[in-house]
Amino acid sequence: MIHPFGPDGHSTRTPTWRRYLGFWGTRVDADVDDEIAFHFEMRVRDYMDRGMSEREARAAASGRLGENLGAARAECVTIGQRRQRRINRQQAMDTLIQDLRFALRTLGRQKGWSAVAIVTLALGIGANTAVFSVVNDLLLDPLRYPDPKQLVLVMRSNTKSGIQLTPPRKLRDAWKQNAHSLVDIQGVATEDVTEAGAPEPHALRKAMVEPSFFEFAGARVIGGRVFRQDEALEEAPPVAVLGEKLARDRFGDVSSALGKTLKLDTTTYTVIGVVRDGVRLPAFSASSADLFVPLLPKAAYFAGPVVARLKPGATIESVQSELRAISDNVTKATGSPVDAAFTIVVRPPGSIGDTRDSIVLLAISVALLLLIACANVAHLLLARAATREREISVRTALGAGRGRIVRQLLTESMLLAAGGCALGLIVGDLGLRLIIALRPENLGELSNAHIDARVLLATLAISAITGIGFGLTGAIHSVRSSTFTILRSSIGGTAGKNRHRVRSLLVVTEMSLSVILLIGATLLIRTVINLHHIDPGFDTANLYALPFSLPQSRYRDSTTRQAFARDLLENAKRLPGYEAVTVADNVPTRAGVIIGTWEAAGEINSAKGDRGSLTTMNTVRPEYFGLMKMRFVSGRGFDEGSKDRREVIISASLAHQLWPSADAVGRQMRMSSGNPKSPPEPWSIVRGVVADASLLSLNDARKTPAIYYPSKTGLGWGGATLVVRAAAGHSPYTDLRRLSLTLDPNLAPPTVLRVSDLLNQTVASQRFMMALLTTFAFLAVCLSAIGLYGVIAYMVSQTTREIGVRIALGASRMDIVRLVMFHGAGLAVAGLCVGLAGASWGVGLLRKTLYGVQPTDPASFALGGAALLTVALLACLIPTRRAIRVDPVIAMRTE
């Protein structure tokens, strides 16, 4: 058989230039053109072989090819491009899988190394995940209502005293009617009610809302319906919308709850709907409710800030000025001095309260921790790069492109980051649980914090950034050090030195960040110690309180309430195991407050004070001060006749404010009405002055003035609180609960509160911050110590020969110790200096949290710095020991 292709038989040798083209994506159209051109040339040759002249042959060939050639070319190009895309995808996938497999193998070969890297990252990422969950929950979107960017909270604030009040209903109604920049404005009232029922009555939290609230808050109705406008009236039959949990607990499932009734205190509600749980409330004390009932027109106050949804285009400033203008009109009409003392403040949700600074600080600290963790992993990568240098240079020499090697190293670090991320999520979840368990009371909403999609996304982003970040650092470093040098020089070449410099820089960074965290932690530890030593002004040992809130429905008039308080005291007195019992309006830290200024009889300028200032108020029986073991500065406590004589007892700070240079006892005072039209209050006589006490919070830096009114029963405005001092070793929980059930079987027994717990709760945010920051600082110091250890150990191993020579030449052990330690100490001190500068700038954020210690407290700075130096020296110990044990003979022979 003849060979079909004649002289133009094939050869499979691919020209090199074509091979390269494949790497950059083949130029499909050029290929097609080449192919056709070749065909044309061959056709011409063929015609010439048959005897045509070249010109004739060309004309004939182009005549033949000309038909349909354009369309054919286009079709070929289309097919080729489609195919090329598929190949590229396939190739990228293959490379990725190959890289991943290789990376997994490499990491698997060094299990210990990989574990350290992953755990380090997991700590950093986990801590960030946990703290970001908190930030997310408290600052970014605390209410979780639809369209959060358009939401604002409206409060009344006294700029001088910093006191914030929730706007009253009348203002909200005026805004709702007149404000043009708002879509809607909602206020929520809450009340703890008793559900009478088997086996024992128990408390439920009821939220009073307007019918439109559910849509406003994005509540998901899963059964029945929400309120109608005509159901929000006094005379309408009571209806309730239950939370899902309550509906299931009481009635089994959602659908069978509908139409059933629920008796709360004396009102029987018909269940008309069920909503999914998790509807958050803009309230100070309660962020969720068990059930919802219509807000009746008579309700005058809300449980927290008013929430408004802005119209598109409205700014916080424009809304604030509009709301102020409207409220000015309202308050002018009423002439109330309290209203006049407060201005309307509009803010985005999540920025109210002192917690903001703390949370921001936590977020910063935890970010520092992550930086340190990353620096440590970068260390690990660099340390490993030293051992992999040869591998990489061999691969480079064998033709692996830089890009390929960088990609390979990046794949490895991304894999590490992915591992760190996965483990970090677990750490983060545990951390978040821990934070929730430790959480101070004023972070109440936190129980709702969880790792949601946003947190997850942030974590993934952090992981990716860290992975790429330290991956690139290591990778660039690896390929930059020239192949040639590495292959030739074995150890200690320029690349090694360069890397050493990078690692030293990393250690300095780690050290400086650690110092900042250490100083923050020290300041907070000192704060907590200071708080621990505060004298609250009364004795908290075995002091308990049982606050009864008497439902209006059953304790309508003063007589029944007085009777309850009297019964409570009589019955409590008969209980064994108590040193003293009394009934009062409240106990610390739940003191009632009066807003306004006091007027002293005969002192002309005494009423000049700020109308928005705050006085704590309690209504007590004569034995109260004795039971609390409060100290009298002058005068005496109440007796049974005090109420009739209109006597009061005031705190030293209030006495000093009214009569700066004279004894207050026997003088007269009253609340200044501030409104010439309303009749003045009658005068009260000061019977005694007690030492200032922590009535609102343990660290009451303002020394809020206090006033005590006498009472025969101890019943006050709020309700009746049974205050007891138990005998040592007596547990007050069961018998007080039984006492409550005996007095009123239809009242859910109140929680027995330990007053020392209440006090501690007021400083819980300091303890919480201390616990977290100390943990972060501890981790940071550990990580940077490991980093420093790595650098020094590396230095020692690199200079073994040099050390050997020195020893051989007669250097003493001390000289060697000095050599190594100097290096470590140098790095630590450099870090320390940078850290101190950073800390002095950063501690300002702590100002509100600290107590009894200045943010720039030199002792704390010194302590933090000393702690770091100590740890740094410890980290250098092991390498130093290794250095002084270098045997000069062995050291000089090896290599």
Q: Taking CB under 8 A as the criterion, which residues in 490-519 touch other proteins?
A: none
Nearer Cβ to other proteins, position 14 or 605? 14
Q: Taking CB under 8 A as the criterion, which residues in 635-674 touch other proteins?
A: none
Cα–Cα distance, 470 to 458 (Å, whole number) = 18
Q: In this chain, which of 42, 97, 333, 491 binds other proteins, going by CB under 8 A?
A: 42
Binding mask 396-435 for other proteins (x = CB under 8 A): ----------------------------------------
The per-residue b/e assignment along 475-496, b for 16 or more CB within 10 angstroms, e otherwise, is bebbbebebeebeeeeeebebb
**DSSP count for the chain of H helices, then E strands:** 26, 24
Output the smallest distance, CB 75 to other proteins, in A. 4
Distance of alpha carbon 223 from the chain centroid: 34
Q: Which stretch binds other proteins (CB under 8 A): 77-85, 179-187, 462-470, 646-654?
A: 77-85
Q: Which stretch binds other proteins (CB under 8 A): 30-38, 253-261, 410-418, 823-831?
A: 30-38
Please tell me whether residue 757 adopts helix, strand or coil conformation: helix
Nearer Cβ to other proteins, position 11 or 559? 11
Output the smallest distance, CB 64 to other proteins, in A. 7
Binding mask 47-76 for other proteins (x = CB under 8 A): -----------------xx-xxx-xxx-xx
Output the smallest distance, CB 11 to other proteins, in A. 5
Output the smallest distance, CB 92 to other proteins, in A. 19
Cα–Cα distance, 172 to 87 (Å, whole number) = 66
Whose tokens are 């007269």? That residue is 668
User: Using CA of residue 172, residue 176, residue 182, residue 186, what is the dihedral sign?
Assistant: positive
Output the smallest distance, CB 12 to other proteins, in A. 5
Q: How far apart are the first and last CA of the chain?
A: 69
The residues, any chain, with a CB within 8 Å of residue 73's CB and separated by 6 or more, are 32, 33, 36
Nearer Cβ to other proteins, position 85 or 450? 85
Output the smallest distance, CB 78 to other proteins, in A. 9
Nearer Cβ to other proteins, position 4 or 810? 4
* By the rule CB under 8 A, 30 interacts with other proteins: no
Output the smallest distance, CB 53 to other proteins, in A. 20
Q: In this chain, which of 39, 202, 573, 847 binds other proteins, going by CB under 8 A?
A: 39
* By the rule CB under 8 A, 33 interacts with other proteins: no
The residues, any chain, with a CB within 8 Å of residue 115's CB and separated by 6 or more, are none
Residues 613 and 600: beta-carbon distance below 8 Å: no
Residues 361 and 170: beta-carbon distance below 8 Å: no
Nearer Cβ to other proteins, position 21 or 203? 21
Our CA angle for 799, 800, 804, nearest 5°, is 115
Burial class (CB in 10 A: 0-12, 13-18, 19+), 313: exposed
Nearer Cβ to other proteins, position 43 or 848? 43
Count how many Cα atoms sit within 13 Å of the Cα of residue 166 in the half-sphere of its side chain: 18
Q: In this chain, which of 23, 25, 27, 34 binds other proteins, going by CB under 8 A?
A: 34
Task: Label the pairing between strands 543-548 and 592-595.
Answer: unpaired
Cα–Cα distance, 728 to 713 (Å, whole number) = 27
# binding residues, other proteins (CB under 8 A): 37
* Backbone angles phi and psi of 388, in degrees to 5: -95, 0
> Which has the closest alpha carbon to 375: 485, 479, 504, 246?
504
Output the smallest distance, CB 31 to other proteins, in A. 7
* By the rule CB under 8 A, 24 interacts with other proteins: no
Output the smallest distance, CB 55 to other proteins, in A. 21
Q: Which stretch binds other proteins (CB under 8 A): 35-43, 301-309, 472-480, 871-879?
A: 35-43
User: Which residues is 756 bridged to in the sheet?
Assistant: none
Which structure tokens are listed for 274? 């069920």
Q: Which stretch binds other proteins (CB under 8 A): 27-35, 393-401, 632-640, 870-878?
A: 27-35
Distance of alpha carbon 504 from the chain centroid: 33
Q: In this chain, which of 7, 199, 237, 679 binds other proteins, going by CB under 8 A?
A: 7
Nearer Cβ to other proteins, position 38 or 717? 38
Q: In this chain, which of 33, 46, 328, 429 binds other proteins, going by CB under 8 A?
A: 46
Q: Which stretch binds other proteins (CB under 8 A): 41-49, 217-225, 500-508, 715-723?
A: 41-49
Output the smallest distance, CB 94 to other proteins, in A. 16
**DSSP run (H or E) holding 112:** helix 111-135
Cα–Cα distance, 763 to 528 (Å, whole number) = 8
User: CB neighbours (10 Å) of residue 367?
Assistant: 17
* By the rule CB under 8 A, 148 interacts with other proteins: no
Output the smallest distance, CB 24 to other proteins, in A. 15
Nearer Cβ to other proteins, position 46 or 429? 46
Our CA angle for 68, 73, 79, nearest 5°, is 125
**Is the backbone of residue 26 left (phi > 0), alpha (psi -120 to 50) or beta?**
beta
Output the smallest distance, CB 142 to other proteins, in A. 57
Cα–Cα distance, 229 to 223 (Å, whole number) = 19
3-state helix, strand, coil in the chain (%, to 5): 55, 15, 30
Instruction: Please give the torsion angle defined by the CA atoms of residues 565, 569, 570 and 573, in that order, rounded to the nearest 10 degrees.
Output: 170
The residues, any chain, with a CB within 8 Å of residue 514's CB and separated by 6 or more, are 372, 777, 780, 781, 783, 784, 831, 835, 868
Nearer Cβ to other proteins, position 83 or 645? 83
Residues 372 and 178: beta-carbon distance below 8 Å: no
Q: In this chain, which of 29, 33, 43, 668 binds other proteins, going by CB under 8 A?
A: 43
Q: In this chain, which of 25, 27, 30, 38 binds other proteins, going by CB under 8 A?
A: 38
Q: Which stretch binds other proteins (CB under 8 A): 11-19, 220-228, 324-332, 834-842?
A: 11-19
Q: Which stretch binds other proteins (CB under 8 A): 31-39, 499-507, 705-713, 756-764?
A: 31-39
Please tell me whether residue 729 adopts helix, strand or coil conformation: coil
Helix 111-135 × helix 453-480 angle, to 10°: 140
Nearer Cβ to other proteins, position 12 or 894? 12
Output the smallest distance, CB 89 to other proteins, in A. 14
> Which has the closest alpha carbon to 350: 41, 134, 143?
143
Cα–Cα distance, 564 to 550 (Å, whole number) = 9
Q: In this chain, which of 8, 235, 317, 644 binds other proteins, going by CB under 8 A?
A: 8
Output the smallest distance, CB 29 to other proteins, in A. 12
* By the rule CB under 8 A, 727 interacts with other proteins: no
Which structure tokens are listed for 865? 């710095």
Q: Which stretch binds other proteins (CB under 8 A): 26-34, 397-405, 530-538, 695-703?
A: 26-34
Q: Taking CB under 8 A as the criterion, which residues in 79-98 touch other proteins?
A: 79-80, 82-83
Nearer Cβ to other proteins, position 10 or 105? 10
Output the smallest distance, CB 398 to other proteins, in A. 24
Output the smallest distance, CB 66 to other proteins, in A. 9
User: CB neighbours (10 Å) of residue 79?
Assistant: 12
Which structure tokens are listed for 101? 């497999």
Q: Taking CB under 8 A as the criterion, which residues in 573-612 touch other proteins?
A: none
* By the rule CB under 8 A, 237 interacts with other proteins: no
* By the rule CB under 8 A, 16 interacts with other proteins: no
Q: What residue ranges bind other proteins (CB under 8 A)?
A: 4-5, 7-15, 18, 31-32, 34-36, 38-39, 41-43, 46, 64-65, 67-69, 71-73, 75-76, 79-80, 82-83
